Structure 1
Amino acid sequence: MNGPLVVVGDSLLDIDVDGRADRLAPDAPVPVVDVSAERSRPGGAALAACLTARTDREVVLVTALGDGPAARTLRRHLTGRVRLVELPLVGDLPVKTRVRVDGRALLRIDRGGGTVGPPDRRAAQVLARASAVLVADYGRGLADRLRPPLTACAAHVPLVWDPHPRGGPPVPGARLVTPNAAEAKACAAALDPDAPTGDGLPDHTARGALLAGRWRAASVAVTLGRRGALLSRGTESPILLPAPYEATGDPCGAGDCFAAAVTAALAAGAIPEEAVHTGVTAAADFVARGGAGNPDLWDRASGPATAPPDALRIAEATRARGGTVVAAGGCFDLLHAGHVSLLESAARLGDCLIVCLNSDDSVRRLKGPGRPLNPVGDRARILTGLGCVDAIQVFEEDTPERVLRTLRPDVWVKGGDYRFESLPEASVLAEWGGQVLVLPYLDGRSTTALAERAAVRARP
């Protein structure tokens, strides 16, 4: 279907207050926070919608915002990113304020929270045209207002339900329900007092099967943080989809990122195993980049719906805050351990890493007929799955000189056995005082060697 991706649920306005705490108040033994920055951003279903909008599909957010300053601020954040279909809200939009000291949460303040009114026909109409639906249920009643049209959607298109213990059950026939471990435990206990209460994999497995059966869902993915997600279809053996790496960072918004990525993957035709793997990878990358509270990441996550992470924008933002821009180049056909080592080393040299990737025609001219083994879309997707890579810039020429003049990196990294003076990029970097570094691959690792070994082993 060519209809929009529709996100349904309770929206919030999130505010992050950052500062330092070097002293205690004179009138009470509590820290005094000297505020250095305060930022607002979409939260709840609004965050899920903005994250979903990183695809090239139209995204519609069905939510209740009401009036008041918080609602007006949230509408400004959403303008140009998603299309709004609003239900009435009697009262104030919920506002969640986190006070952070040196990047760590010290205090959270919640205020607001109105009553959702009845929907008009626009909500049902947009749901009838949806190619996939994500329900971001934060337990404030909006999903319950739309249960009949959501039930109808579940019979025809992929419907993902991100539940909350205070909310109602998912509609029957949901393609995938995505509770985290704590939500799964609370929901299972409410359904069955004999549900397991432990935190081992057998306990998560039993709860996933219980929830899939009681909710009449096609599958349930219990997200386990750094361990990945456990996919259950009830009576079938579960599948553990591990995280690609251990991400450290602010996990705020990781569940919304997971649900958004899963929904987009299902809309594109992925089976649940593929969709959950995509979601786990996206969530790990999201956390590694600082979560929803990272202003640079939020700029990318909430950008225009048709724009992937933009290499030039990331480079300019990094320079604006005094950071070092690192770029690395190559074909990266059949990604191997040498490539990964090179890119991880390159990322440690600065504050962002942009990979300049040869197009298919460029690889063919450089490597000859039969190459690349993987098309540029697959190569780019694999590279963006690495936590050390911030953006990809594909170039069509034999050398990346033109794109380097656009990006103007501080450091250019090339892998292999090149000599500095033989690199045409060296004179280009010299134009603005950039530095060229050549880092060797791990001994014996190369795409050509891998392909030759595979061809030998394939012979009868």
Structure 2
Amino acid sequence: MIENFNFGRVAVLGDLVLDSYINGSVGRISPEAPVPVLLRAHHTAVPGGAANVAMNAATLGCTVELIGLVGCDAPADTLKKTLSGSRNIDLSGIVADPAWTTITKTRVISGRQQIVRIDEEFIDPIAQDTRTRLIDAACRAVGRADVLICSDYAKGVLCDDVLKAVIGHARQLGVPVIVDPKRKDFAAYRGATLVTPNRGEIAVATGMSLGSDADIERAAREVSDQFGGDVLVTRSEEGMTLVRRDGRVTHARARKSEVYDVSGAGDTVVATIASVLSAGQDLETAIVIATCAASIVVGKLGTATVTRHELSAALSAEMREDGALVSIDRARALTEGWRHHGARIVFTNGCFDLIHPGHISLIRAAARQGDKLVVALNSDASVARLKGPARPLQDEQARATVIGALRDVDLVVIFDEDTPLETIRALRPDIIVKGSDYQEHEVVGGDIVKSYGGSVVLVDLVAGRSTTSIVRKMLPG
């Protein structure tokens, strides 16, 4: 689970923005013009643009180095003050240029309704010496980073020579590069590992109409050819589509949520992906988690971040099955989804004919080994072959109901073979748990699990407890 991730170092390079919010209430229309009159209540400021990306990554637990450009002005001081609240963000890579104006976006809000946005930006081409300072700061940060994010808001920091120099340096060091783009032509991002356009941005870059999954996939492949990497298309309420260079496609559907404000949602997505990658997880896992993070942040008003606790709780809610009995095919889909949420899958099996303290002890010990516990039950026919024609005492549906009701059990499956070998091959658990009456080499499927980095755990049993012994006590004489 995400609570167990060891997040690494992320470098964030891009356009820095100060997001300012004037909040109040509207009770009348101005007599001077047909506009609402806002009774101002309070004024707040938070990091925006690449600075918001940095805050999102830091909030999840990454160590972040932020590189960008500000002016020598009051908004720059305010922006740095908003960032200084996070101990995880290094601000030494922020370059100040007196010829630059710190970009500020001021939103006027009544209740949860945005009335107007006022942008302050006077963007001129960045001087060569300033570009050199940005490149030097970014290259130093990349040398210490696990992942580089280029957050492009089309404000000038990510000009061609900066992109070429920094992405090239990252490639030399083997550091993956994620770009949140704003160009009409993605060729400027050549060398990036992943680019994350939204539906509108990829439509502009390709000139295509994007009405279906197939349209999205075709457009993603076209822009992939422009820069040479993978493409993740963010699709608002439809979730995200990842198109890999090797042809693989992954659709991550969005979680239903109440949408208050989409500002900054793209920042959360790219920051979450980079954070999960920095923890050593794969890209598919990162995207599933980022989809969940985006659904949380759009439920907040204004530019916001998602905490590790919030994300963990939401992911746990998505993964909950509460001991359901499902088919092997359904279990395969569920465990694969859990794995992409960062969960470690634990597997144990048995007949579980009459539940006794020994069974409970085994299941509790198994659940402690990972995040999700799958219990595989021998079918009635399988039990009869193993135990004799008088067994099982309870049919498979009854046994599955009892096992599934235990709070430590997340999923129950039934297998008809004498051993769970095929079930283990299908579900690919991370950990197999059996009782200490086995030796490790005797555990069915243990060699398979260990072949892909999993493990076998043997736990102590409760002495003298077995279904067979209970049955014997029930017999007369």
TM (norm. structure 2) is 0.63
Q: Which residue of 2 aligns with 1:164?
A: 182
> 2: CA distance between counterparts of 1:454 and 1:338?
10
SS of the residue corresponding to residue 158 of structure 2 reads helix
Alignment of 1:303-314 (within 5 A): 308-309=308-309
Alignment of 1:60-209 (within 5 A): 60-79=65-84, 80-84=87-91, 85-89=93-97, 90-115=99-124, 116=126, 117-120=130-133, 121-144=136-159, 145-155=162-172, 156-165=174-183, 169-189=187-207, 196-209=208-221
> 2: CA distance between counterparts of 1:140 and 1:28?
34
SS of the residue corresponding to residue 53 of structure 1 reads helix
Deviation (angstroms), 1:71 = 0.2
Root-mean-square deviation over aligned CA pairs: 3.6
Q: Which residue of 1 aligns with 2:377?
A: none
- C-alpha distance 95-451 of structure 1, shift in aligned 2 (>3 A): closer
**CA deviation profile, 1:56-111 (whole Å, cap 9, x unmatched):** 33210011122111000011111134102023432210100111222022211101
> 2: CA distance between counterparts of 1:252 and 1:444?
45
**CA deviation profile, 1:217-262 (whole Å, cap 9, x unmatched):** 1x10010011110111257253211113344222221100000001
Identity %: 24
- C-alpha distance 371-3 of structure 1, shift in aligned 2 (>3 A): closer
> 2: CA distance between counterparts of 1:142 and 1:198?
30
Could you tell me which amino acid in structure 2 is paired with residue 38 of structure 1? H
Q: Are 1:221 and 2:232 counterparts?
A: yes
TM (norm. structure 1) is 0.65
Could you tell me which amino acid in structure 1 is paired with residue 405 of structure 2? S
SS of the residue corresponding to residue 368 of structure 1 reads helix
Q: Which runs of 5+ in 2 are unaligned?
A: 1-5, 325-356, 373-400, 420-477
- C-alpha distance 168-454 of structure 1, shift in aligned 2 (>3 A): closer
- C-alpha distance 173-107 of structure 1, shift in aligned 2 (>3 A): same
Q: Which residue of 2 aligns with 1:276?
A: 287
Q: Which residue of 2 aligns with 1:413?
A: none
Q: How many equivalent pairs are there?
A: 338
> 1: CA distance between counterparts of 2:410 and 2:26?
56
Could you tell me which amino acid in structure 2 is paired with residue 267 of structure 1? S
Could you tell me which amino acid in structure 2 is paired with residue 143 of structure 1? L
Deviation (angstroms), 1:279 = 1.1
Q: For 2:54, which of 46, 49, 55 is the aligned residue?
A: 49
Deviation (angstroms), 1:366 = 13
Q: Are 1:446 and 2:461 counterparts?
A: no
- C-alpha distance 443-228 of structure 1, shift in aligned 2 (>3 A): farther
Deviation (angstroms), 1:38 = 1.7
Native 8 Å contact 1:208 1:234 kept in 2:
no
Native 8 Å contact 2:142 2:175 kept in 1:
no
Q: Which runs of 5+ in 1 are unaligned?
A: 190-195, 302-307, 312-326, 340-363, 380-441
**CA deviation profile, 1:339-386 (whole Å, cap 9, x unmatched):** 9xxxxxxxxxxxxxxxxxxxxxxxx9996344254458747xxxxxxx
Could you tell me which amino acid in structure 2 is paired with residue 163 of structure 1? P
Q: For 1:368, which of 361, 371, 375 is the aligned residue?
A: 361
- C-alpha distance 199-91 of structure 1, shift in aligned 2 (>3 A): same
- C-alpha distance 366-244 of structure 1, shift in aligned 2 (>3 A): farther
- C-alpha distance 14-61 of structure 1, shift in aligned 2 (>3 A): same
Could you tell me which amino acid in structure 1 is paired with residue 143 of structure 2? A
**CA deviation profile, 1:93-138 (whole Å, cap 9, x unmatched):** 0100111222022211101244442233333222222211011011
> 2: CA distance between counterparts of 1:365 and 1:34?
67
Native 8 Å contact 1:98 1:108 kept in 2:
yes
